[in-house]
Amino acid sequence: MGDLTGSRKDSRPPIGRCESHGSSNSRPGTLDGSLALWYVFSSGQILTYTRTMAEIYPFRALHYNLVQIPDLSKLVTQPYDKITPAMQARYYEASPRNLVRIIRGRTRPEDDKQDNIYVRAAGEFQAWIENRVLVSEAEPALYLYDQEYEVPGQPGVRKKRRGFIALLRLEDYSARVVHRHEETLSGPKADRLDLLRATRAHFGKIFMLYRDPEGVVEGLLAPAARQKPWEQATDEYATVHSVWRVADPQTIERVVAALRDKPLVIADGHHRYETALAYRDECREQQRPDGRAEYVMVTLIRMETDGLTILPTHRVVHGLPSFDWPQFTSAARTYFDWGGIPPSEPRETQVHRVLGLLAQVGRERPTLGAYAGPGRAALLRLRRDRDLGRMLPELPAGLRGLDVVILHRLVLEKILGIDRQAVREEKNISYYREFEAAAAEVDQGRAAVCFALNPTPVEAVCDNALAGQVLPQKSTDFYPKLLSGLAGYWLDNPNGL
């Protein structure tokens, strides 16, 4: 790959490579008003990028060699942060080449600086490349990506979500090109940074949303789906993942142009994006000449698609010095109308009624569900005489009316006394997709109480993100997840970007 920050004597960079030209005092990897970036295809056609908004690039994906291992479904995984110990064990058993061995390898009691999960991941990764388990595409491309899935909790209802995989030039949040929608935790970022340093590769895709009411970008890429998929896999949730290569230079140029003036919202992958930013900054400080750390692999999906599904993430509260249900109900009545579930009902009925009533009542006003064990279940509906503007004056109107914000600010902070730092460090909070599993934590004595939430609307997610307003961590759970192992971005790919 050519030097992204230097210049060449030639009038254009080599085929399939990127290069920047312009002011020598511009920051590494960036384009100023006099700077343009060229991309040359094997056809000789040149794409010229100028600095506006999002910069999307085709790339040579690193992927599994399906000639050697034809069943891709045994090789791919859910994102690293969704891999439980049981899933890790299943992935290990599925194949000795399953990607879990790199992105979520097993720790050993004797691990030290010379031999640990990151060192072993780097060794495994290089061995797979040398043995052609992983191979690189010869030409740069964008990758159309479809996911056909059944909506959880709605048997028989299937949807299709369409996006495409590309590289994105990293931007600090302050540039207002990429917008985050929720807070992050420090632990996952440190872990992912160590893996990125060791492997110099991105294995997971950051899920980005963009506005395109007319579906222009999808329309440009859709013809590729008429062909047989380049890759296809079915995951453990029966979601079918299909990928097609799009290498036509004119199509790529039109897609790039269509995205150039659009702000992007991170739907999923905040920790990985911030990890990539941290690694970019490290490489700048080390004055690495290639500039490949200036980019990260993303999947871009339009906000308006009917294929988007957001699931709620329920909260489990544990580790409190004490918890008394009658005291909690009394304090909660300051802010909420209390809708108790009849204590005589069986435990399973109480849990199901919390979810059913939550979905119904939540359409009218902010509502939470609470469960502290059999006979102690209720709905908390925000009182109509409560003024959120006075109770939460530090928050903008678009943020303070969201269920998840009300739970964190009124219930966790004001009633239970759990401060924001404790939440960020997950000292007293755990997160569950299934409310049944959350309730089981309470029943088994590992938690004091759990809270059920309705999903955060995608419009609220995007509107707040674009306004610079950040939701609490784990405010959304976009479903399904983007599989790891379909495509990778290898920063040291000798074939080029």
Kindly tell me if the per-residue pLDDT of 208 is higher than 50.
yes
Kindly tell me if the per-residue pLDDT of 335 is higher than 90.
yes
Q: Three-class SS string for 476-490?
A: CEEECCCCECCCEEE
Closest by CA position to 205, among listed 458, 474, 489: 489
Tokens of 290: 């290639």
| CB-based contact 209:264 (threshold 8 Å) | yes
pLDDT for residue 187: 67
DSSP-derived letter for residue 74 is: G
* C-beta contacts of 118-125 below 8 A and 24+ residues apart: 118/194, 118/195, 118/197, 118/198, 118/199, 119/198, 121/195, 121/198, 121/199, 122/198, 122/199, 125/199, 125/201
The β-bridge partners of 489 are 202
Q: For 250-280, what is each residue's pLDDT tens digit?
A: 999 999 999 999 999 999 999 999 999 999 9
Closest by CA position to 206, among listed 41, 54, 52, 32: 54
Out of 141-155, 184-198, 309-323, pick the least confident: 184-198
Closest by CA position to 17, among listed 296, 294, 292, 299: 292
14: left (phi over 0), alpha (psi -120 to 50) or beta: beta
b/e per residue 318-335 (b: at least 16 CB within 10 A): beeeeeeeeebbeebeeb
Provide mean pLDDT across the span 394-410. 94
Cis peptide leading into residue 480 (ω within 30°): yes
Provide mean pLDDT across the span 114-123. 96
pTM: 0.87
Percent of the chain with pLDDT over 70: 89
